[in-house]
A and B are shown apart, each in its own frame.
Chain A
């Protein structure tokens, strides 16, 4: 049996990767901006942010990938896990890495529908958009595309984050 058959690529497409609620918190935002060496005052000084036209300190463009997910989910507000305990990211990449090789972050895209500022409460859902394989010489490259959509209290999209994770055998 080939790796492809074992994985049944199509069966993973469309499956949920998670859902949750996040709060955009000031210290997390300010520390993140500092860590990517963005020293603009509007990321640490609310008066500077208001003077620039924002309601509060804005989130930097790449904030949504990790900081928001890792630090801003209050446990008591999280919805039930929609994956049924089988997270496609962990499952697919886990199976592949068990055979050796390397997992890499291949691509990342953000679409911004409106600015996000400190105090915003956002809901998100993640879904497998694609799972495909390519041969590169002797190596099999497996690409997993996960789209995470953040929405506001009215259900309007705020930010869409698309990650392309790849396993190289």
Chain B
């Protein structure tokens, strides 16, 4: 059960997936809160966030991770992801332009499976990294 996977023989270290860019809005965060069930007011309630000393609401880390997962599965095919591991390094803020980066770092055969290792991240327009990590995809 999976979409078409990367072709192992055609993938090379250094290959990159198409970038996905998005300007973060408060509506994104309210929609993500509803869809995920994470209603922490620091993400959805500007009044509460400012009362807590923040300049505004900030994004759910898992929203940014979701954008990254979309970029990864657009590249490796839905159903071919074996592992995704991310660190949340900085908060995201409304009006920031978030851009994904997915790079092939290795390809290997293990236990009869063909695997492609990826380095993955999301950064803003100034290059400040918000989410960074690795992914492993199954290839054909």
Instruction: Show the binding face of B for A, using Cβ within 8 Å.
Output: 1-3, 22, 28, 31-32, 34-38, 61-63, 65-67, 69-70, 72-74, 78-79, 81-88, 133
Contact with B along A39-74 (1 / 0, CB 8 A): 010100000000011110010111001110111000
Tell whether, in the assembled complex, residue A111 and residue B83 are in contact, meaning their CB atoms are under 8 Å apart: yes
Given contacts A61-B81, A108-B86, A115-B79, contact A36 B66 (CB under 8 A): yes
Instruction: Give the docked Cα–Cα distance between A55 and B73 (Å).
Output: 18
CB distance from B132 to the nearest CB of A (A): 10
Residues of B within 8 A of A55 (CB): 1
Tell whether, in the assembled complex, residue A107 and residue B88 are in contact, meaning their CB atoms are under 8 Å apart: yes
CB distance from A88 to the nearest CB of B (A): 20
A37 at the interface (CB under 8 A from B): yes
A38 at the interface (CB under 8 A from B): yes
Tell whether, in the assembled complex, residue B73 and residue A71 are in contact, meaning their CB atoms are under 8 Å apart: no
Having A37-B67, A52-B78, A108-B86, one finds 4 other A-B pairs with CB under 8 Å, namely A35-B28, A38-B66, A65-B36, A107-B85
Give the A interface residue count (CB, 8 A). 36
Closest to B72 in A: A61
List 24 A-B pairs, Cβ < 8 Å.
A28-B35, A34-B35, A35-B28, A35-B63, A36-B66, A42-B3, A53-B1, A54-B1, A55-B1, A61-B81, A61-B84, A62-B62, A62-B66, A65-B36, A66-B38, A106-B88, A107-B86, A107-B88, A108-B85, A108-B86, A109-B85, A109-B86, A110-B83, A110-B84
**Tally of A-B Cβ pairs under 8 angstroms:** 116
Tell whether, in the assembled complex, residue B35 and residue A108 are in contact, meaning their CB atoms are under 8 Å apart: no
Residues of B within 8 A of A7 (CB): none
CB distance from B122 to the nearest CB of A (A): 12
CB distance from A22 to the nearest CB of B (A): 12
Closest to A36 in B: B66
Most buried by B among A40, A52, A62: A62
Instruction: Give the docked Cα–Cα distance between A36 and B24 (Å).
Output: 11
